Amino acid sequence: MPANEATNHHAFDFDGSIDDAPSHPQRASKCYDDDGRLKRTGTIWTASSHIITAVIGSGVLSLAWAIAQLGWIAGPAVMILFSLVTFYTSSLLAECYRAGDPNSGKRNYTYMQAVRSILGGVNVTLCGIFQYLNLLGIVIGYTIAASISMMAIKRSNCFHKSGGKNPCHMSSNQYMIIFGITEFFLSQIPDFDQIWWLSIVAAIMSFTYSIIGLALGIAKVAENGTFKGSLTGISIGPVSQTQKIWRSSQALGDIAFAYSYAAVLIEIQDTIKSPPSEAKTMKKATLISIVVTTTFYMLCGCMGYAAFGDAAPGNLLTGFGFYNPYWLIDIANVAIVIHLVGAYQVFSQPIFAFVEQGVKQRWSNIDKEFKIPIPGFTPYKLNLFRLVWRTMFVILTTVISMLLPFFNDIVGVIGALGFWPLTVYFPLEMYISQKKISKWSNKWICLQIFSMACLLVSVVAAVGSVAGVMLDLKKYKPFQSNY
């Protein structure tokens, strides 16, 4: 199975377009599962690889900065805490794949379908709002990150040619436009079924630049001959006490962004074969993947902080703590751009599908296609509504990115907004409903206290990240970014 194909297909579904599989004459046969679909073949290892692919992304690049704000004690501690919270809530969410009996209950194929079948009512709408805002935010964050990496390639070569004498300041706007034009063409690919190859390339690229960042951090520490940084993080002086509070809060959002994968968990689980029950296998896969990603994050974040101390850049590979070898920096940034080109599609395709299905339900003739002959290839099916709507979406995300080119702050906001509702609240509420945990029982009270504590963390992280954006806006003129 191509990497991420099953993981990303119809993820974040909101309109309930995936119906329950109809009764099939070959139910539970050698070729079909109990829901009439083809036998699932996923294992604990394929599920683990899907989770790792979904989790490890550009968020890893901001972890050194996040640890720099919190210090050697709180930084790693917060990272471990987020990993434990993610593991626990993911284990609860895994229980929601089947309604009722964990071995024979009705399957929920997506996160939204689980919310609809278990909680229903206004929860479905709220979940949809949080998911689509989160998706939009991620797409904007990726546009910003890609443009900064493209610009970093040119800047590193400029630094190299001038021997570090030329500051090589430049605007990111033209690079955002280049990225937007690329996404305009890729966005015309109808759906996930046809972009599995893009997901494979993106996954390989994410490991490439993460490993380069880790290796450069280790080399820098070896060159310095010491570990930089302090127990409490960046000290008062270089930043004011208020800035210290805001930055520490924002660091929480950055770490939350790096761990979030709840919205694709159930869809990954839908690839797993049984017996044993899918929930049992998924819990083991979650444990393996959380251990792997936490180890990877701790290495990248801590080595970045050890290399640069309080001066750790917001984006490890574009903040120019590393200047040489410049060609390796270029390779890493090319990998980031290629990864983000694919990631943009992975996170925007569900939005495209949601809007297009909704419009099609109201105006059935709007999706009429025109065949355009291409010599030597199969005719291209042009859908005018898809062309116009997706083009407008790409333009919108590009313009917003040009208005707010603050990678770190945007990452913090996205992480804060998505963490509590998608990773904590809905999994907990579905678990309570599934297991019929009585109100005001000891277990119910403990789960609610846990949820409120996570909400508080989300609010603090959101406030800190928004404050960071506001501070950036004071020094920034629209469409005139300069690095």
In sequence order, what DSSP letters do the residues of 292-317 get, joined into one string? HHHHHHHHHHHHHHHHHGGG--SSTT
The pTM score is: 0.74
Which residues lie below 8 Å from residue 226, measured CB to CB, with a gap of 6+? none
CA atoms of 43 and 36, how far apart (whole Å) = 20
**Is the pLDDT at 378 greater than 80, yes or no?**
no
Under DSSP, is residue 435 helix (H, G, I), strand (E, B) or coil?
A: coil
Query: What pLDDT digit, counting tens, does each position of 425-482 carry?
Result: 999 998 888 888 888 889 899 999 999 998 988 888 888 777 777 776 776 666 555 5
Chain centroid, CA 379 distance in Å: 35
User: What pLDDT was estimated at residue 247?
Assistant: 79
Q: DSSP for 158-220?
A: HHHHHTT-S-----SHHHHHHHHHHHHHHTTS-SGGG-HHHHHHHHHHHHHHHHHHHHHHHHH
Query: What pLDDT digit, counting tens, does each position of 160-196 carry?
Result: 676 656 666 667 788 888 988 988 888 877 665 455 5
**Is the pLDDT at 4 greater than 60, yes or no?**
no
Is residue 425 within 8 Å of residue 111, measured between CB atoms?
A: no
User: What pLDDT was estimated at residue 191?
Assistant: 61
Mean of pLDDT over the chain: 76
User: What pLDDT was estimated at residue 243?
Assistant: 76
SS3 content of the chain, % helix, strand, coil (to 5): 70, 5, 30
User: What pLDDT was estimated at residue 164?
Assistant: 59
**Omega within 30 of 0 (cis) for the link into 2:** no
CA atoms of 145 and 59, how far apart (whole Å) = 10
Tell me the mean pLDDT in the region 140-167. 76
Supply 175's token pair.
């690079």
Query: What pLDDT digit, counting tens, does each position of 382-440 carry?
Result: 778 788 888 999 999 888 888 776 655 666 677 777 788 888 899 999 888 888 888 88
Which residues lie below 8 Å from residue 211, measured CB to CB, with a gap of 6+? none
Q: Helix 196-224 vs helix 44-55: angle between axes, to the nearest 10 degrees?
A: 70
Task: Tell me which residue has tokens 């660091």.
Answer: 251
Which residues lie below 8 Å from residue 331, measured CB to CB, with a gap of 6+? 208, 212
Q: Helix 173-186 vs helix 122-162: angle between axes, to the nearest 10 degrees?
A: 130
> Which range, of 262-266, 299-303, 332-336, 436-440, averages the lowest pLDDT?
262-266
Tell me how far CA of residue 249 lies from CA of 192, 318, 462, in angstroms.
36, 23, 8
Tell me how far CA of residue 136 lies from CA of 167, 259, 396, in angstroms.
33, 18, 10
CA atoms of 415 and 468, how far apart (whole Å) = 14
**Is the pLDDT at 51 greater than 80, yes or no?**
no
Which among 59, 80, 79, 65 has a CA at the least distance from the CA of 309?
65
Task: Tell me which residue has tokens 């083009």.
Answer: 391
Tell me the mean pLDDT in the region 7-27. 42
> Which range, of 71-80, 134-143, 231-240, averages the lowest pLDDT?
231-240
User: What pLDDT was estimated at residue 445?
Assistant: 93
CA atoms of 155 and 297, how far apart (whole Å) = 27
CA atoms of 354 and 459, how far apart (whole Å) = 28
Higher pLDDT, 191 or 350: 350
User: What pLDDT was estimated at residue 19?
Assistant: 42
Which residues lie below 8 Å from residue 231, measured CB to CB, with a gap of 6+? 71, 72, 73
Higher pLDDT, 441 or 100: 441
Which residues lie below 8 Å from residue 299, measured CB to CB, with a gap of 6+? 214
Higher pLDDT, 98 or 165: 98
> Which range, of 8-12, 251-255, 384-388, 437-441, averages the lowest pLDDT?
8-12
